[in-house]
Amino acid sequence: MNSPRNSYASLANLNQKLRVLQNQCKNEGRNVKETLCRDAEMIIQEACNNIGKLLEQKNNAIIEKDHDNIKRIDEEISIIESTAINMANLDVLLREKYTDDVVKPFIEPEASNIKVKITEEEIQKIRKIEREKIKKENDRIKEKEKLREARKDEYINELGFQDIKKNISFKETPTYKSFHKSLQSKKKNNSTPSDDESGDEYETKNSESSLRKGPSEEEVRIAMKKVKEEKNEELNHELDKYYAEIEKIIEGDN
């Protein structure tokens, strides 16, 4: 068995060789082997760090003449050394880290070249199919948008809303404002008498039959106002539904 100090030196020497090999692989573009060298270097470096700490403990044990502890530390250093060397074996790392498809190029270079060529052709085919699918989808979206715009223009012309610009809301157009104004005028003509007229009418009736029992003038005024508000609300709701349908037609949703 090597002495612990020689083991530490041998690990450091192995680590240096791995760095040289790693640089060679990097320059030659051998990426997988470069990665394996880097992994092995990390294993050796970790082992060197642990052995360095154990050597410090051994020095203290020597000063204290603790022979049992010195023996235990030597055995532990030897175990770390052998384990690190076994774990840093590139063949072992290759089998543990990579599948057969990746390992084969390092075992059969010629077969590797053929496999890489076939793989590249397959990749190109897949990329071509993907590009065609994307182009087909983009064309479909463009055609759908084109039909949508055509339908929108058709509805606008059919309804006589040629003054509508595509970048403004329907409610902002002169056609909508004119239409809305005419509906408001009709709503006003069909509404119940104004609060003042209702008040005068019921005030006259109240003076003619002051002894008749029934709702007060204020109660009647409130009731009629409530009826008027309900009718207005119902009419506004119907108008909103109508305008919403027109908006859908113009936007091409239907």
Distance, CA of 22 to CA of 3 (rounded, Å): 28
Count CB-CB contacts under 10 A for residue 58: 22
Displacement of CA 94 from its chain's centroid (Å): 36
Q: Which two tokens stand for residue 213?
A: 């029992």
For residue 194, give the DSSP letter: P
Q: How many residues comprise the chain?
A: 254
**One-letter amino acid identity for 27?**
N
Of 208 and 89, the structure prediction assigns the larger pLDDT to 89
Q: Of 107, 125, 144, which marks where a domain is finished? A: 107
Highest mean pLDDT pick, 36-40, 133-137, 163-167, 226-230: 133-137
- For position 173, what pLDDT does the model report? 59
- For position 35, what pLDDT does the model report? 77
- For position 154, what pLDDT does the model report? 61
Alpha helices, DSSP H, located in 160-216: 174-190, 195-208
Q: Say whether both 202 and 242 belong to one domain.
A: yes
Highest mean pLDDT pick, 3-17, 110-124, 134-148: 134-148
Count CB-CB contacts under 10 A for residue 1: 10
Q: Give the number of C-alpha atoms closer than 13 A to the C-alpha of residue 109, restricted to the C-beta side.
A: 1
Indicate whether 129 pLDDT > 70. Answer: yes
Of 19 and 201, the structure prediction assigns the larger pLDDT to 19
- For position 103, what pLDDT does the model report? 45
Q: Binning pLDDT at 50, 70 and 90, where does residue 111 land? A: very low
Highest mean pLDDT pick, 26-30, 87-91, 143-147, 189-193: 143-147
Residue 214 — left, alpha, or beta (φ > 0 → left; ψ -120 to 50 → alpha)?
Answer: left
Highest mean pLDDT pick, 54-63, 92-101, 103-112: 54-63
Which DSSP string corresponds to 19-85?
HHHHHHHHHHT-HHHHHHHHHHHHHHHHHHHHHHHHHHHHHHHHHHT-HHHHHHHHHHHHHHHHHHH
Distance, CA of 64 to CA of 66 (rounded, Å): 5
Q: Say whether both 125 and 142 belong to one domain.
A: yes
- For position 176, what pLDDT does the model report? 61
Q: Say whether both 87 and 20 belong to one domain.
A: yes
Q: Say whether both 63 and 130 belong to one domain.
A: no
Give residue 144's domain range: 108-159
Q: What is the count of structural domains for the chain?
A: 3
Q: Say whether both 15 and 99 belong to one domain.
A: yes
Q: Say whether both 153 and 86 belong to one domain.
A: no
Of 23 and 173, the structure prediction assigns the larger pLDDT to 23
Q: Say whether both 62 and 18 belong to one domain.
A: yes
Q: Of 90, 107, 124, which marks where a domain is finished? A: 107
Q: What is the pLDDT of residues 164-183, one digit of tens each?
A: 445 555 556 565 666 666 66
Mean pLDDT of 206-214: 49
pTM, 2 dp: 0.35
Of 76 and 182, the structure prediction assigns the larger pLDDT to 76
Q: Say whether both 44 and 86 belong to one domain.
A: yes
Of 203 and 44, the structure prediction assigns the larger pLDDT to 44
Contacts 24+ apart (CB under 8 A), 152-156: 152/250, 152/251, 152/252, 155/249, 155/250, 155/252, 156/250
Q: Say whether both 14 and 92 belong to one domain.
A: yes
Q: Of 141, 159, 177, which marks where a domain is finished? A: 159
Q: Say whether both 102 and 131 belong to one domain.
A: no
Q: Say whether both 152 and 180 belong to one domain.
A: no
Q: Say whether both 93 and 121 belong to one domain.
A: no
Q: Which two tokens stand for residue 228?
A: 């008027």
Indicate whether 106 pLDDT > 80. Answer: no
Of 134 and 9, the structure prediction assigns the larger pLDDT to 134
Residue 160 — left, alpha, or beta (φ > 0 → left; ψ -120 to 50 → alpha)?
Answer: left
**Contact at 8 Å (CB) between 192 and 231?**
yes
- For position 102, what pLDDT does the model report? 46
